[in-house]
Amino acid sequence: MKPVKIAMASLTHGHTRKYYQTLLDNEKLDWVASCAADPRAREVYALYNTGVPCYSSMEEMFGKHPDIEAVVLASANDRHLEEMRECARRGVHILSMKIPTFDMTEYDEMIRLVDRAGIVCQIELEMHYNPVVRRLKELIASGAVGKILSMQATNITLSPVWAFPWQGVPEASYGRRIPLKEGDPRFRGGALCDHPHIFDLIRHLTGSDFEQVYSVVAPNLRNELEVEDMILCNGRMKNGVTFLFDPSWSRMEERLKVPAPGWEVFPKRMQVDVTIIGEEGTIVCDCFGPNIYHNGAPNDRYTVQYTYFDEWIGLVDEFVDCIRNRKIPKINLKWHRQTIECMNACYESVRSGLPVTLDEQRRG
């Protein structure tokens, strides 16, 4: 199979660096170019010595490499629509970050662009390529716990805003400056926007969609942020399964400008723990464990050293397979739309102080 000529754009997303090794290792890819959204992104990119040239704009990159077939749009959320328009215009396949946009009008334009151009647009929800999640899906599908009654999950991390400042800017993260609720000085665009995974996972595990969601925010742990960092959600799926999710930035961090050892203050900087309660059994699951542990440099703090997990390998394999074999990615724009709708409903619930019914929100 001819390797796919691939590029990376913007380089400002927190997941950017996680692609480098996979793009270099995979024989089915030819990573030919990158372009940076700003000089700082370009400087940080240079630290990783990938050997792949970096340009100052998509236009310059495409000009120098007109044979690019696919692009990883590793950009802030408010850049996605414009970049997708450019890729669709050129017939270039897209690997989008986890939040294409929170604006549903923009979202529908993205769907139309991709459909008209006949390109692949895969959404980066890497948890699907985690072997623990694969086992979890298989167990549930095999009836290991019987009919599911409820699911509880965390998607809790440190806050990446000091390294990736756009994640603390409401316009860049959420797309607009919308107050969380009347009298609250904070805006949409924080921790919730960083953590769609568990909202997506429950749809896969239950085969159902969201009926109702209720959400509350707590006082921020980080006073400087103008977006939320502590948020909780509960609700019910259409098939009756109830859920409780914690998608907060509740693990504190050192305020590093470039992610590096010592980033975490709490020993484990990312926890995706899932509990599934069924009529015939219960599963508890740590999607990122076990690991190895140390209290060495740089801060001599007890630290979880993530050991086993390479989600980006499977994610990129699927992207290549979809391009070469004209398949639709598992996580595509149309599938992901209801996940984004539910996350918007969480914000609406925070605003109103009431549960939000998804069908009513769609009609409204």
Partner 1 sequence: MNIESMNEGLHRLLEKYLPGKTALLETDAGIGCGAVLKKDGECVKLLPWRVERRFTELKNLTENGTLEEVSTLRFAVMSAEESLRQLLYRELDLCEFLGKSEIRSAFAVVSGGRTANVLIKLADGKSVSIECSAALPEKTSPLDRHEIIARRGIACDRVVDTQVPQSSIYLFRDGEETRYTDVDSELYGLENKEIWIVRAAFAVVKTPGLAAQWNRTDRILRRNVESILNTEESGKPVFFQEEHA
Name the minimum Å distance from CB 62 to partner 1: 29
Shortest distance (Å) from residue 293 CB to partner 1? 5
Cis peptide before 290 (omega within 30 of 0): yes
Q: Does 124 bind partner 1 (CB under 8 A)?
A: no
90 vs 327, beta carbon nearer partner 1: 327
Cα angle 124, 129, 132 (rounded to 5 degrees) comes to: 135
Contact 147, 118 (CB under 8 A): no
Beta partners for 151? 243, 276
Closer residue to partner 1 in complex, CB, 67/280: 280
Shortest distance, CB of residue 356 to partner 1, whole angstroms? Answer: 32
Residues constituting the chain: 364
CA angle (270 as vertex; 267, 272 as ends), nearest 5:
125
Cα 323 to Cα 5: distance, rounded to the nearest angstrom: 11
Q: Report the residue from 47, 60, 218, 293 that binds partner 1 according to the rule CB under 8 A.
A: 293
Residues 141-160 binding partner 1 (CB under 8 A) are 144-145
Q: Are 356 and 214 in contact (CB under 8 A)?
A: yes
Contact criterion met (CB below 8 Å) for 211 and 236: yes
Say whether residue 308 binds partner 1 (CB under 8 A). yes
- Please choose, from the candidates 223, 217, 221, the residue with its C-alpha nearest in 3D space to the C-alpha of residue 266: 221
DSSP code string of 332-357 = BHHHHHHHHHHHHHHHHHHHHSS-EE
What string marks each residue from 18 to 37 as x (binds partner 1 by CB under 8 A) or -? -------xxxx---------
Smallest gap from residue 138 Cβ to partner 1 (A): 9
Stretch of 64-72, 135-143, 195-203, 222-230 contacting partner 1, by CB under 8 A: 135-143
Among 292, 328, 334, 352, binds partner 1 (CB under 8 A): 292
> Which of 291/338 has CB closer to partner 1?
291
The binder of partner 1 chosen from 63, 131, 240, 353 (CB under 8 A): 131
Residue 27 to residues 1, 94, 296: CA-CA distances in angstroms?
A: 10, 19, 36
Report if residue 305 touches partner 1, rule: CB under 8 A. Answer: yes
- Which range of residues in 72-80, 127-135, 156-164, 245-253 is near partner 1 by CB under 8 A? 127-135
Q: Which residue has the tokens 């509990």?
A: 275
Should residue 134 be labelled a site residue for partner 1 when binding is judged by CB under 8 A? yes
Q: How far is the CB of 67 from partner 1 (least distance, A)?
A: 22
Q: Are strands 93-96 and 70-73 parallel, antiparallel or unpaired?
A: parallel
Closest CB to partner 1 among residues 1, 66: 1
Q: In this structure, what token pair is assigned to residue 57?
A: 């704009």
DSSP element (H, E) containing 32: strand 29-36
3 DSSP assignment: P
Q: Locate tokens 């990376």: which residue?
A: 8
x/- map, 245-284, partner 1, by CB under 8 A: ----------------x------------------xxxxx
Residues lying near partner 1 in the complex (CB under 8 A) are found at 25-28, 129-132, 134-136, 139, 144-145, 261, 280-287, 289-297, 300, 302, 305, 307-308, 310-311, 313-314
